Amino acid sequence: MENMNFFAVDLGATSGRTILGTIGGGKIELTELTRFPNNIVETGGHFYWDIYALYLEIIKGLKKVALERIPIHSIGIDTWGVDFVMLGKDGAILRNPYCYRDPHTTGAPEEYFTHIPRERVYDITGIQIMNFNSLFQLATLRRNRCSALEAADKILFMPDALSYMLTGEMVTEYTIASTSQILNPRTKRFEKELLDVVGVKEEQFGRFVFPGEKIGVLSEEVQKMTGLGAVPVIAVAGHDTASAVAAVPARNERFAYLSSGTWSLMGIEVKDAIINKESYERNFTNEGGVEGTTRFLKNICGMWLLERCRKEWEATGNYSYTELIDAALAVPAFRSVINPDAPCFANPSSMVEAIRRYCELTGQPRPETYGELTRCIFDSLALRYRQVFGYMQAMAPFSIERLHVIGGGSRNNLLNQFTCNAVGVPVTAGPSEGTALGNIMLQAKAFGLVGTMQEMRDMIASSIELAEFEPKDAAEWEAAYAKYLAHYREDI
């Protein structure tokens, strides 16, 4: 069989890429076509995504494959979760979508719970309560009498909005919808009881599709712009984490995953949603996966902490990760530790000062140098992973034997070793391009190149290089975890 080429659009919260995936001889090979920033636009007291800029970047990538005469068999789009675009009756986008980091949803869950109790909302959805979930964004827009929501005929999540711009077809892909806190994982439909509170109807969303279904083909407008023909657009796992988890090169079901990037997402893959008193109290989430699976996981603030610090350090030097890791290794371990998920780290004006203030308020030394700050972040992330891993072990329907680290953070060998030491089970790191691989493999599955998710995972495992880590220094990390718990705060 000849090689087949698939075009993946992978959009993260800070940057995006278009990637060519070539499958042949039982192997998959990735080629990055374009890379671009995904800038948050701050104006009028709000934070927005520039949907038109993202669309133009996709067009640029499609033009590139047309110019290089690369035949592509299909296109798939994945993005971060929860955010959405509102369209008018004429199909036009009413305004750029709000960014989930916009502070307008602060306190929104508590206001919503005056209509439907918190426990009831979680019991219906099984979704981790976070103020930026789509449900609370909609409630905020309704409460603030948002003119775009009042005029909205359709509401499309980010990957679905971009596929609409390419094809003219309006869909709601299951995995991205599952991040919204509107979907019932038992029925796999939006819950009317929740929507009624915000005055939105299920019909305002696009037709439901699941990973592997065809959305449509490139519109005539896009064909003329790019020089391509009627290329199919496939609904992959539209939520980037769902695509990444589909690419975990696991040998059996007894694994946990850590999708490590701007956000860290730690979870397991199960057949049925886990919704009980403990999952509610620990604020775990149940999101849709591939082949009817559920991703039982928890969001953890990830490399956002270090990226924000690096941004501040640009004035004195553009420090590479290699330099920061060397500096972190040169300072004492566990000098200061933080709860990476404390509210003060959500979107501070200065991440450096937010970390220092947390340490001061918990009676720890202030990390002053960039080495001390980096070490504080790495130590604290690994210890937070240990905490969440412990919660998950207690709720999992099987014994967790291995942790798979995927995403950009899988290349950070220092943090991988720290994580392995902290959680106490072997760690396999890779692929770093998990999201793109999952996106492309789901397109390949739609064309019959692979039959099951395990076949996808086996092909990925045979195509990439993985790094293995074994736990070390157990006593030292046990003592560090005790210190972390002693300084753990959720109210800063």
Q: Name the residues annotated as catalytic.
A: 240
Handedness of CA 276, 282, 287, 291 (dihedral sign): negative
Length of the chain: 492
Distance of CA 286 to the CA centre of its chain: 14
The two three-digit tokens of residue 182, written as one number = 């509107």
Q: Are 447 and 4 in contact (CB under 8 A)?
A: yes
Start-to-end Cα distance in the chain: 58
The neighbour count for residue 465, using CB atoms within 10 Å, is: 7
**CA pair distance 391, 144, nearest whole angstrom:** 37
d(CA 338, CA 383) in angstroms, rounded, equals 9
Q: Which two tokens stand for residue 94?
A: 């009413």
Contact in structure between 329 and 414 (CB atoms under 8 Å): yes
How far is residue 182's CA from residue 427's CA, in Å, rounded to a whole number?
A: 34
Whether the CA torsion 104, 107, 111, 112 is positive or negative: it is: positive
Largest CA distance in the chain: 64
Task: Determine the Cα–Cα distance for residues 248 and 453; give it in Å rounded to an integer.
Answer: 10
Q: Which amino acid is at 218?
A: L
Residues contacting residue 373 through CB under 8 Å, at least 6 positions apart? 309, 352, 355, 367
**Residue 415 parent element (H or E):** helix 413-423
